[in-house]
Structure 1
Amino acid sequence: MAEIHPFYQQHRGAMEAAMRHRLDLAKAMLRERADITDIDGIRREVMDEFAIVLTQTPYVGGTASRMTDFFMRLIGFMAISRVLRRHGVPLPVIGEIERETYKAQLLDVPEAERLAAGDQFMSAENQALLREQAAKSTTESHQAEFPEDFVYDFVAPGPDDSFEFGINYRACGFCKFAGRHGDKEILPNICGLDFDAYATRGIRLERTQTLAGGASHCNFRFSRLQRDG
């Protein structure tokens, strides 16, 4: 078997723990919606597939790249999708199970911590970092060093816009991964995870098109959700 990149090997324990947590949260849905009775067997298959996915996960700069976190948090859903597809579970059902499982996992984090993370994401300091990393992602040198990385532009709002800032992803690491490993049918399910990822942190994500859906770019637009009190 191919080797896991040392960066992901270093974080493998935490990533596997997150996967086991997701599978625990998904038990009832796997029985009721996917008609799966051998839950323990599915768990073993998913964890075995996850070991394969880890060998396939591209290195895009480690802690120096904000996109590394996206791979580490979401690439495991590729393993879940692959296994459930092999068991004949329809893609829309897989998407529902994954999205609800991910939301439940995110909500396990205390609300104050989630909202603080959302505030940090929307902060002027983070927007400055996003501008910097977006500009770097488009350079020939970065794309040559990390060809499987995302390529994106920071979008400032115009006078008639209601969002605080946006990101246009012109190349997606998950799309590249899926194209390389035959997972293109899974992509819409991965894209669907984004909305809950931001909403649970107090952020509204608006997006009307995706690369996975055939568009020229993914148009992420961010604003703050209204909070009670």
Structure 2
Amino acid sequence: MRHRLDLAEAMLGEHVHPSSIDGIKREVMDEFAIVLTQMPYVGGAESRMSDFFMRLLGFMAISRVLRRHGVPLSVIGDIERDTYKAQLLTVPEAERLAAGRQFMSPENQAFLREQAEKSHQEQFPEDFVYDFVEPGPGDRFEFGINYKACGFCKFAARHGDKDLLPNICGLDFDAYATRGIHLERTQTLAGGASHCDFRFSRLRSA
């Protein structure tokens, strides 16, 4: 989290007074401690979604603090996306692309099918619920996931952060692109749709 804030410092300086930056960074770390106590338990290491919460809920802390300082939500989104991409790119390219190949592998697709079926048991109320999607005739994606319930949406509704959700959703594209994966998504639960339609394919350069 401190690394993220260091990466965000230059962009923060464009939107808040430079003398405020150190105080804002301290506020974010304090808010992050609060977010950690609010983070729901969704199965620990047994659930792939635990990692999503751990990686992305920190941005809720950044968003809350910047919102309090009057930074527009669209600017907050730009800061977070650029910061997240910069952080992801600190991982060596070979390692990132290897992770992308593993995500797209038949073995991982089989794992995702199992996890999708398990999610419908709704063992943990704050968890995600989703379906694995096989490509049909004429489809250009390799596989997809339809999220029917979103842990971030539930978290945001509980803590008054629903206006921050589009920024969290926007982080997904760089998370996959930096690993050589193209994400196509036309709708989200946060935007009022019945589900989030994630569709995955390999970037040609990967």
- Shorter chain as denominator, the TM-score bin is over 0.9
Residue of structure 1 equivalent to 2:114: 132
- State the 4+ residue runs in structure 1 displaced beyond 3 angstroms: 33-37
Task: Give the total of aligned pairs.
Answer: 206
CA distance in 2, matches of 1:134, 1:44: 38
When residues 99 and 34 of structure 1 are mapped into structure 2, their CA distance, relative to the original with a 3 A threshold, is farther
Contact 1:34 1:93 in 2 (8 A): no
| CA offsets 1:63-83 (integer angstroms, 9 cap, x no match) | 100000000000000000000
Residue of structure 2 equivalent to 1:113: 95
- Choose 33-42 or 206-215, whichever is displaced more: 33-42
When residues 182 and 160 of structure 1 are mapped into structure 2, their CA distance, relative to the original with a 3 A threshold, is same
CA distance in 2, matches of 1:29, 1:53: 23
| CA offsets 1:169-227 (integer angstroms, 9 cap, x no match) | 00000000000000000000000000000000000000000000000000000000011
Select 1:172's aligned residue among 146, 150, 156: 150
| CA offsets 1:37-68 (integer angstroms, 9 cap, x no match) | 32110111000000000000001011100000
CA distance in 2, matches of 1:138, 1:62: 17
Residue of structure 2 equivalent to 1:98: 80
Select 1:210's aligned residue among 166, 188, 191: 188
Aligned-pair CA distance for 1:30: 0.2
CA distance in 2, matches of 1:52, 1:69: 18
User: Cα RMSD (Å) of the superposition?
Assistant: 0.9
**Secondary structure of the equivalent of 1:166?**
strand
- Structure 2 matches for 1:23-42, cutoff 5 A? 23-35=5-17, 37-42=19-24
Q: TM-score, normalised by structure 1?
A: 0.88
**Secondary structure of the equivalent of 2:13?**
helix
Structure 1: gaps (5+ residues): 1-18
Contact 1:23 1:43 in 2 (8 A): yes
What percentage of aligned pairs have identical amino acids?
A: 82
Structure 2: gaps (5+ residues): none
Aligned-pair CA distance for 1:35: 4.5
1:21 and 2:12 matched:
no
